[in-house]
Amino acid sequence: MADIVRPSEEAPSGRLLRVFLGARDRVGGVPASRAVVEAARELGLAGATVLRGSIGYGANSVIHRPELWRLSGDLPVVIEVVDSEAKVVALIERLESMLHGGGLITVESVRVLRYQGRRGSGS
């Protein structure tokens, strides 16, 4: 992908995958968000980010929010991944076999304006 592309120039297209889960969701005994990130890495996707929500609800219409008397509730978690369509499709196929406890998966088209790792940081 290009280093920097100005919005007026032709930018490479990609796909943004979002996976909506609960913080308590598990896959094979580990948090589902961690399992999704590890699957993305194993498949060679460019990167993944886990975002924790402060309040939300899903298909069951149960509002999940932090409670004072509990250390952590089942707060919403969103995992975002951007890469080529082929790589995102491969990850979706993996997720279909992993995620059995519900969740929501969305995909949309994006223009990649910048993709670059930090120089000298190893990341």
Q: In the prediction, which pLDDT does 59 show?
A: 72
d(CA 123, CA 119): 8
Could you tell me if residue 34 is inside a domain?
A: yes
Could you tell me if residue 51 is inside a domain?
A: yes
pTM over 0.75: yes
Could you tell me if residue 84 is inside a domain?
A: yes
pLDDT tens digits, one per residue of 29-50? 999 999 999 999 999 999 999 9
pLDDT tens digits, one per residue of 45-69? 999 999 998 887 777 677 777 665 5
Q: Which residue has the tokens 């250390």?
A: 71
Q: At what angle do helices 32-42 and 85-98 cross, to 10 degrees?
A: 140
Buried b (16+ CB within 10 A) or exposed e, 30-51: ebbbebbbebbeeeebeebebe
The mean-pLDDT minimum among 27-31, 83-87, 115-119 falls in 115-119
Could you tell me if residue 2 is inside a domain?
A: no
Could you tell me if residue 6 is inside a domain?
A: no
Question: Region 67-73: what's the mean pLDDT?
Answer: 58
Range of the domain at 76: 13-111
pLDDT at 1 over 50: no
CATH number where 52 lies:
3.30.70.120
Could you tell me if residue 117 is inside a domain?
A: no
Could you tell me if residue 8 is inside a domain?
A: no
Q: In the prediction, which pLDDT does 64 show?
A: 72
Could you tell me if residue 97 is inside a domain?
A: yes
Domain tally, the chain: 1
